[in-house]
Chain A
């Protein structure tokens, strides 16, 4: 293959993170549940139960699960419009996520937002954001609050490669660097901003290089191994928590589906997609569990059945819940 954005271009990973069986079982379960949530969403979308726009993260699960896995419950997550997995990883339930996508009153945002508007104040999950890059300065503000109040809390701000060109990204990182805020910016670089490949949207394809302009720490690695993502994030999270130093991280990843449900993905070859599917983060985690931690099939089957039951319950819950109530903050009455 001769693709400018082929896996071979990604920098080699310099060290393998050894398997901790209990930890990896937990992360694997989360990734599996997220994939099943995404598959259930796609099905519900096709059935007309979910309207509007739906962006699935199938293929990228190791990034959100590994990164959020490096946080404490009191830490904050600010995510993008492809954020169902991030919400789940932060502790939100499949029920509250699916019900929100369905526009039901029992959804995490009372069904008033939908797919790009997952919020949970108790879990410190600060939302999906539909305006690319607009959330980056906002995340800096959340981190400022933590520093101002003397809390040892870290804010983790996700963004995509598409956001790496927009003003909001630069203004947000600039403030975080200037004010030395406890924050980690993590670029989920899935190689395409919608249908435009990296080499046509970024003059420097290594997004982590932008850290140099702000004088902050940076890191860059492949995102298919959830243990690696978690371990590398842990370093940046520690830096933020202990020394209030921001870090800019680029993680290379790949979405197996289109940008949104309406995207057939014709800008990528079948070969390219198949090549990436060989590095499916779920398969990698499962393989490592079996080969390096002696997990047996029965044990893994147990997890998979548990996830199946969780999703069946969540889908039924979303189906049966009442639709969103009217909610008008204020208006001039007719």
Chain B
């Protein structure tokens, strides 16, 4: 089995699906000749030609709008937004058109658009190349939101996304684009949407994370293990619709929950998870559900290391739930 990083796994998934299904097309800024700003679409234009891998003008609303139109009668566009921070010019297209299409046409028009975009901090990208906007889209009914945490996950989840009929925002954690490596099967396989993954079993605290924060969470959990604390770690994978059962069953077992997200704290997705756990597992909780988040500030450039959750902060949050 070949070893890949996340970029290679995304590229492999796109290539596989484009070979399998002529309806799949890619469009975005610099996705063809340049191969994408992070090279995720590298070489695809050579194999599939410029009609299937299209460089676009710098016009995010145009990119997403056109992708919706392509999807209505059966193409399967996979547009790339160069950075998640650049998605906001297309926010109207995503929220008002893409997300509502199936519903407002009485089910006549599903809009199977999979928007890929690199997101998140940790690369010293500053204000405009670091944000984690997942909550804004989870809060938009009609969209699915999926975040892979390693190369195996990236390929299997992306293939599932392209093969189903609802619009998806596929957020790729760019901090670990190359840092996360692992074995990835060469052929076809999928990972079901809406199912979380128990990464590590444990008994005292449930730690929930997604994307690059999964690795931060594991760092903290390793430190906790050295102190004899047993944590169960859940990779949420699909943020919408999220896997309530796996999360709640785990908390019923451990009695404690820590949610790790790098987006700002207030109204972040961790708040929704915390509320859900409280509603469903109140009687089993030994301590309040804890959120470890970014701060309520524009994403910082020089103070990024202060902003990003890290292993030590994960450990102290775990300890806080045990000391309560």
Q: List residues of chain A with CB under 8 Å of any chain B CB.
A: 78, 107-113, 117, 119-121, 126-127, 129-131, 134-145, 148, 167-168, 171-172, 174-175, 178-179, 327, 329-332
Contact = CB atoms under 8 A, between A and B. Distances in A.
B102 interface: yes
A120 B66 contact: no
Contact of B106 (A111, A131, A144): A111
Contact of B69 (A110, A131, A143): A143
B298 interface: no
Contacts of B102: 329
Given A121-B109, A332-B244, A142 B70 contact: yes
A168 B105 CA distance: 21
Contacts of A174: 57, 59, 62
Interface in B135-188: 141-142, 166
B37 interface: no
Contacts, number: 136
Interface in B216-250: 241-242, 244
A171 B61 contact: yes
A331 B240 CA distance: 9
Interface residues of B, number: 42
A120 B166 CA distance: 19
B214 to A, nearest CB: 22
Given A137-B68, A137-B93, A178-B57, 19 more contacts: A111-B106, A112-B103, A117-B105, A119-B105, A119-B109, A134-B97, A137-B62, A140-B69, A141-B67, A141-B68, A141-B69, A145-B74, A145-B75, A148-B25, A148-B70, A171-B57, A171-B62, A172-B65, A332-B276
Interface string B293-322: 000000000000000000000000000000
Interface of B: 25, 51, 54, 56-57, 59, 61-75, 77, 89, 92-93, 96-97, 102-109, 141-142, 166, 241-242, 244, 276
B105 A127 contact: yes
A138 B69 contact: yes
Contacts of A141: 65-72, 77
A136 to B, nearest CB: 7
B21 to A, nearest CB: 13
B244 A329 contact: no
Given A134-B92, A175-B62, A331-B141, A113 B107 contact: no
17 contacts: A109-B108, A113-B104, A119-B109, A121-B109, A134-B97, A137-B93, A141-B68, A141-B72, A145-B73, A171-B65, A175-B57, A178-B57, A329-B102, A329-B166, A331-B141, A332-B241, A332-B244
B105 to A, nearest CB: 4
Contact of B65 (A108, A111, A127, A168): A168
4 closest Cβ contacts across the A-B interface?
Answer: A141-B69, A137-B65, A171-B62, A110-B106
B69 A108 contact: no
Nearest to A176: B66
Contacts of B77: 141
Given A119-B106, A119-B109, A329-B103, A129 B97 contact: yes
Contacts of A331: 141, 241
A148 B244 contact: no
B68 A138 contact: yes
Interface centre among A174, A175, A331 (most CB of B within 10 A): A175
Contacts of B75: 145, 148
Contacts of A143: 69
B241 A138 contact: no
Given A134-B93, A141-B66, A175 B59 contact: yes
A286 to B, nearest CB: 36
A134 B166 contact: no
A332 B108 CA distance: 23
Contacts of B108: 109, 119-121
B56 A138 contact: no
B106 A140 contact: no
Given A137-B61, A171-B65, A113 B106 contact: yes
Nearest to A109: B106
Contact of A112 (B61, B62, B104): B104
A126 B68 CA distance: 12
A134 B99 CA distance: 13
Contacts of A332: 241-242, 244, 276
A145 B89 CA distance: 23
B142 A329 contact: yes
Contacts of A167: 61, 89
B107 A327 contact: yes
A78 B63 CA distance: 17
B51 A148 contact: yes
Nearest to B56: A175
